[in-house]
Structure 1
């Protein structure tokens, strides 16, 4: 009953996380597109930086943006913040209920680092905090005079943390923590910089003082960073479904390429929204394509030794013994693993018919990569993986 309740808790938290996350991403995309579509008009109100004409749902909208702020603010001013806050809170709850409560299965891989659960959890929490402090410190000690250099430093910082995660966590644990790190930075940008700066501007207006223009510029810089990090973080968050990513021995390299692909795509869309001529941002298209091609090449399965191709010494009984030892604890009608009440995704590997049916999936998860068993709790050896792969190849898998 407890596992049943926990499973429903996971479903509800994940559902909530998706809803508020979609809201946050939607507002981020909209406001960046709106900001880039602003134009100078012949007739504008005093203090207005630019205006945009929009059409949606059969209606026309005329939106103004002030260079700093208007002389006075209405009482019904709308603040966009709770989507970011709730996305972070629900995301951390998911990290806790899935990865912390089942640290030995999802977070720890003894072949990478033989950690106790409390050690892995402590590294996780501290790394998220240190990641934000490092990013925020970098932003506060640099100017936006050279935005490309600042972005490159942020890129190196994230890749550096990815290398750290790859050396202490399991593959899926490492990828989800890159996503959690980036998500923490994005949410903290809203909570610690963007909203506080907007409140300072509003307070200055209410008291009759002139707002500091630097406050708005800082908020805009953080907002742009959030916008460019959105596409990479989305893939990191669903990476546990793709062993091609989480099972790669050099996960940090894939993280670097994913950051480049996502940023290039986002740049293409942003500059298109801004109405820039294509000749000014054409380089983003081949840049993203090359990074994507490198990621695909890096994840291509490598040919195994000749011994793997020879399945003459691998019998059906050998395969059943391997799956009984390393798979059946989770993938049986009644799992014995404490983290599952039902076989994950309904997959049962206790008989040859089911093993043959799902052979391509088994090969991807347990032969071509070492994603399964989770955290390699059962200590599956490379020889056993190769034997299983040879049997699958011989049986048309």
Structure 2
């Protein structure tokens, strides 16, 4: 019953997390497009303090949108704020981290071959500390003089994320390492809203309400808020990738998984830069061509090694060599007829059957405990992804997924059933021959 209720919790918060994420990132994309698409307004609008405007048509009507340089002539009665999309996304993401990776740390968070934490508490504490330290370093950078220089600031944050990605991959399971990088990105983005963007907006609104001209302090807050907003914009696509990465073990289970994630981050951020430039009226296809070429190179570099066929044990003849009957050579010019040998056929079948039994013994001991209609492995209410693997027919049905998951070490999760490298190779070879 406990695993069943946890599945419902995971479903609810994952669904909520996706909905909130769509709202947040959708609003982010819209306002970036809006901000970069504004045109120089006519003179009569400029005199009112409008710095840019644009016209749009949607839903059967025209929209006139204007942005003020600082403050409007008078405070509007109704002012819409955009913040809860960010906060809700972060809160539901934190809930997902607790439900999936902390409540079942043995399966999803810990990889004993990397770090033996000794207990789930040690692994969870390390995870939380890692996230807090990563975010603290970001805040120190953004609040320093570096945060006022967009180029230097961007380079420093890129270096920080590369280091964090590498460390995460050394500490946690492959799948969890990608999620931790996503958690850092999400925390930075939500923190940018809470600690940077919202304070600047409140300061500006307060000045307008009091009829005071915004001073240098408010201008500095606005500059920092803009830099934080730009950082959020470039983080969106890498963040979305980490959110869906748990479905693709070929990515995070690669021998250099941390480097794969760095490459994906650079590729997606470059693609995002293309659209930013396009919004400004600068059509620069190179920012799409470069990511496309890089993606092809990444695919080639990541390709798996060829699978070696499962060796078949030699079949010993049932007739001793010294007792084998003599054969009469064919007459001159005649062709000997090919006579199929029957000796040892029953033994060959027995050997093949024995090999099948051995492989299925491994499957039932190391795989079926989770992948059966009613899993016996603690923490599982249903077979992962609904895949049942109990018989050779089941293995043939899910052959492609089995090869990828076992070869990449994605399965068993956290290797909780102790699958050895030799057994892993045998399973991959056996499944490949089905």
| TM-score normalised by the chain length of structure 1 | 0.94
Runs of 4+ with deviation above 6 angstroms: none
1:16 & 1:388 partners in 2: Cα distance? 38
Change (3 A) 1:70 1:214: farther
Helix, strand or coil at the partner of 1:50: strand
* Alignment match, 2:424: 385
Matched-pair contact (CA < 8 Å) for 2:53–2:66: yes
* Alignment match, 1:320: 360
Which of 281, 284, 287 is the equivalent residue of 2:287? 284
Q: Unmatched 5+ residue regions in structure 1?
A: none
2:206 & 2:238 partners in 1: Cα distance? 35
- 1:80-91 equivalences under 5 Å are 80-91=82-93
Per-residue Cα deviation, 1:330-362 (whole angstroms, up to 9, x for no partner): 001210112112212221111111011111111
2:240 & 2:163 partners in 1: Cα distance? 19
* Alignment match, 2:411: 372
Helix, strand or coil at the partner of 1:112: coil
2:189 & 2:135 partners in 1: Cα distance? 9
Q: Bigger CA drift: 295-304 or 140-149?
A: 140-149
2:49 & 2:221 partners in 1: Cα distance? 16
- What is the CA distance between 1:257 and its match in structure 2? 0.8
1:75 & 1:143 partners in 2: Cα distance? 38
* Alignment match, 2:311: 311
1:309 & 1:361 partners in 2: Cα distance? 18
Matched, 1:342 2:382: yes
Q: Bigger CA drift: 375-384 or 172-181?
A: 375-384
1:103 & 1:352 partners in 2: Cα distance? 31
Matched-pair contact (CA < 8 Å) for 2:41–2:50: no
Which of 284, 288, 298 is the equivalent residue of 1:295? 298
* Alignment match, 2:274: 268
Matched-pair contact (CA < 8 Å) for 2:55–2:65: yes
Matched-pair contact (CA < 8 Å) for 1:201–1:215: no
Matched-pair contact (CA < 8 Å) for 1:17–1:90: yes
Helix, strand or coil at the partner of 2:52: strand
Q: Bigger CA drift: 289-298 or 351-360?
A: 289-298
Matched, 1:117 2:123: no
Change (3 A) 1:334 1:243: same
1:342 & 1:260 partners in 2: Cα distance? 37
2:147 & 2:186 partners in 1: Cα distance? 22
1:137 & 1:71 partners in 2: Cα distance? 37
* Alignment match, 1:64: 66
Once superposed, what is the RMSD of the aligned Cα atoms?
1.6
- What is the CA distance between 1:290 and its match in structure 2? 3.1
Which of 248, 251, 260 is the equivalent residue of 1:242? 248
- What is the CA distance between 1:153 and its match in structure 2? 1.7
Task: Count how many residue pairs are aligned between Structure 1 and Structure 2.
Answer: 388
Per-residue Cα deviation, 1:179-237 (whole angstroms, up to 9, x for no partner): 11100100110011101111111112222222222222221221111111111111101
Matched-pair contact (CA < 8 Å) for 1:39–1:51: yes
Which of 247, 254, 259 is the equivalent residue of 2:260? 254
2:55 & 2:311 partners in 1: Cα distance? 67
Helix, strand or coil at the partner of 1:372: coil
1:143 & 1:394 partners in 2: Cα distance? 58
1:353 & 1:330 partners in 2: Cα distance? 17
Matched-pair contact (CA < 8 Å) for 1:245–1:251: yes
Change (3 A) 1:155 1:343: same
Per-residue Cα deviation, 1:257-289 (whole angstroms, up to 9, x for no partner): 11111111111112112212x2xx333123212
| TM-score normalised by the chain length of structure 2 | 0.86
